[in-house]
């Protein structure tokens, strides 16, 4: 299902839009089961795409002693065929195509498990503050696998923030997360029902708070890029999965100037 002109306009103005329900009940139950199985398998391990973002760092000793849990599995699709199939979901890709055209690659996907009672935060950040892709036009679809509420640490977005390139600093959390100053009062809570989704621009400031409630908050994000997007080293990310359309021929993708990581990572 393509986006309407009104949705596209809203996305361009605010940097995100609510998509409503994108996953039907039976499929959702399957995704939840597979999510739980993978997180249970990886519990107590470190690495291979799994980590606790609430730990002080990615070092094994910090990961083991962390008091809170904001658990992440990067590249779920590599671990589970149903998550791989989801990458090619026609309804999701049609919406992405409305924003970035017919040639779409996967940047990566990831699942987030913020458990009841001790779920940790995700610092405010712009995704591309870390990814450093060119052009910075990637979009993400974040799908709720549980009700996502203010109590259990739903996503919060800063409307209009995708129009500004904020300076980031390394977070005191795992080094992969970046921090940016936000006026908290301007944040908009992204409350979703299970199977509902939000779509956001890679420059939209977002994050999430602790989960001290009695309900888990599970979510799954797919990050899409226009075919031919370049990574932080200026090279075209040719080896990423092509989800729809075609890759531009190599001769049509002249080298870009690498993004200066230090500039974006310092305040």
Q: With respect to ligand AKG, which residue has the nearer C-beta, 122 or 174?
A: 122
Contacts by 20-24, CB closer than 8 A, 24 or more apart: 20/196, 20/197, 21/193, 21/195, 21/196, 21/197, 22/89, 22/91, 22/92, 22/141, 22/143, 22/195, 22/196, 22/197, 23/143, 23/195, 23/197, 24/195
Structure tokens at 141: 């679809």
CA distance 116 to 118: 6
Q: Does 15 bind ligand AKG (CB under 6 A)?
A: no
Site for ligand AKG, residues 107 to 166, rule: CB under 6 A: 112, 122, 127, 140, 142, 155
Distance of CA 261 to the CA centre of its chain: 20
Q: Least distance to ligand AKG from the beta carbon of 85, Å? A: 20
C-alpha–C-alpha distance, residues 93 and 27, integer Å? 17
Does the footprint of ligand AKG cover residue 221 (CB under 6 A)?
A: yes
Site mask, ligand AKG, residues 62-101, x = CB under 6 A?
Answer: ----------------------------------------
3 state SS of 171: coil
CB of 129 to ligand AKG, least distance (A): 11
Nearer to ligand AKG, 210 or 248 (CB): 210
According to the binding rule CB under 6 A, does residue 219 interact with ligand AKG?
yes
Shortest Cβ 54–ligand AKG spacing (Å): 11
> Residue 52 corresponds to which tokens in the numbers above?
């606790």
Contact residues for ligand AKG (CB under 6 A)?
A: 112, 122, 127, 140, 142, 155, 206, 208, 219, 221
């Amino acid at each position: 299902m393509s986006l309407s002109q009104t949705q596209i306009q809203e996305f361009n103005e605010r940097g995100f839009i609510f998509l409503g329900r994108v996953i039907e009940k039976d499929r959702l139950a399957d995704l939840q089961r597979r999510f739980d199985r993978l997180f249970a398998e990886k519990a107590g391990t470190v690495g291979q795409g799994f980590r606790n973002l609430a730990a002080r760092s990615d070092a094994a000793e910090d990961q083991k002693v962390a008091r809170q849990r904001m658990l992440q599995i990067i590249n779920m699709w590599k671990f589970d065929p149903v998550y791989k199939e989801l990458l090619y979901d026609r309804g999701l890709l049609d919406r992405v195509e409305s924003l970035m055209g017919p040639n779409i690659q996967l940047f990566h996907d990831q699942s987030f498990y913020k458990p009841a009672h001790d779920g940790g935060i995700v610092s405010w950040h712009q995704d591309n503050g870390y990814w450093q892709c060119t052009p910075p036009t990637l979009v993400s679809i974040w799908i709720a696998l549980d009700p996502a509420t203010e109590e259990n640490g739903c996503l919060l977005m800063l409307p209009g923030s995708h129009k500004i390139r904020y300076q980031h600093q390394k977070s005191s959390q795992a080094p992969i997360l970046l921090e940016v100053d936000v006026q908290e009062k301007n944040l908009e809570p992204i409350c979703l029902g299970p199977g509902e989704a939000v779509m956001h621009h890679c420059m939209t400031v977002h994050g999430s708070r602790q989960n001290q409630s009695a309900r888990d908050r599970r979510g799954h994000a797919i990050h899409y890029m226009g075919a031919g997007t370049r990574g932080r080293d200026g090279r075209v990310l040719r080896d990423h999965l092509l989800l729809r359309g075609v890759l531009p021929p190599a001769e049509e993708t002249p080298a870009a100037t690498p993004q200066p990581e230090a500039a974006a990572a310092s305040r």
